[in-house]
Amino acid sequence: VLTLVLLCVAPRTHGNACEWTAPTGDKFDLSGLSHKDYWMIQDSQKNFRYYLNVCKNSKLPKECVDGHVKPSPALQVEAKSWKHVCKDLASLDVQTFNLLDPKDAQKGFEMTYGGGDKCGSTPREIRFHFICSPHFDEGPLQIFETTKSCHYNVTWATKHGCPVGKSLFFGLGGGSTSSSSSSGGWISSFFRFFFFGLFAYVLAGCAFLKYTNPDVPVGLGTCPNVEFWISALEMGMSFGATAMQKVKEKVTGSAPPDPEFEDKYPMGKDQADEDFEDDEEDL
């Protein structure tokens, strides 16, 4: 059981992934954008051509077949120079994911490939911004290069930028491979992990007790520490009822009924008012 839990919560740290599960539990699938050759796009000044792919390397264009360029999912070729210098911008083995908006997976997500040709001492990297557009799928729209950091940004509106469903164990595994996950995502992941571990513990305990005591009928008697869990449930329900009462008092501004008052005046407030008036007449 421990091995199963560890497999479920282990983050995905290797590259070349087409599928990703966000910390919110939303699943994304880029396999529909994996081109048999490449997607070609030019920058706004038409100085460079870019040959891009996802999930696999781009097919080398003729300018890059001299053997000096390693396979890459993103290649840059000088368009206006007669030399047509070719550079690889990234490697499939260096890959990270993030949501565009940590609170709203419906806006899309971003994927970064790193480990490209050195730009000074810094490897080049390219980041794809997949914008969720259910009815638009025309390939990458535009690309920008940050020359100082040799970082490239691709804007890509596509239906594949939209979530395709929820993970069965969402928040437990396959989360963001970068360090930018929000604290809320970590907190929710902790509780999901806790309840999943609790479920695995009870299930494994019941199976073990049934295996070691085959004559015991299936039921609460085969669950581990059943007395403890029943008492814990009762305590939880009592705590919940008390908390609800406190909230009700806070919202309505009323206090809970006094048990002694109810015993003395079973007919309620009207009976108490009558007794009070009788006492005043006696005085």
Residue 219 clears pLDDT 60, i.e. is over it: yes
Residue 269 clears pLDDT 70, i.e. is over it: no
The whole-chain average pLDDT of the chain stands at 76
Q: How far apart are CA 236 and CA 202, in angstroms?
A: 18
Residue 150 clears pLDDT 90, i.e. is over it: no
Q: How confident is the model at residue 115 (pLDDT cuts 50, 70, 90)?
A: very high
For the full predicted model, state whether its pTM sits above 0.95: no
Residue 196 clears pLDDT 70, i.e. is over it: yes
Residue 150's Cα: distance from chain center in Å? 29
User: Are 17 and 95 within 8 A, CB to CB?
Assistant: yes
User: Are 71 and 86 within 8 A, CB to CB?
Assistant: no
Q: How confident is the model at residue 14 (pLDDT cuts 50, 70, 90)?
A: very low
Percent of the chain with pLDDT over 70: 67
Average pLDDT over residues 189-217: 72
Strands (DSSP E) along 161-276, which ranges? 165-166
pLDDT digits (tens, 9 = 90+) for 72-99: 999 999 887 777 788 999 999 999 999 9
Please tell me the predicted confidence (pLDDT) of residue 268.
53
In this structure, the number of other CB atoms found within 10 A of the CB of residue 97 comes to: 22
In this structure, the number of other CB atoms found within 10 A of the CB of residue 129 comes to: 18
Average pLDDT over residues 256-263: 58
Percent of the chain with pLDDT over 90: 33
pLDDT digits (tens, 9 = 90+) for 19-72: 999 999 999 999 999 999 999 998 888 888 999 999 999 999 888 887 778 889
Average pLDDT over residues 219-240: 75
Q: How confident is the model at residue 208 (pLDDT cuts 50, 70, 90)?
A: confident
Residue 210 clears pLDDT 70, i.e. is over it: no
Q: Greater confidence, 253 or 131? A: 131
Q: How far apart are CA 114 and CA 190, in angstroms?
A: 30
Three-class SS state of 252: helix
User: Are 19 and 177 within 8 A, CB to CB?
Assistant: no
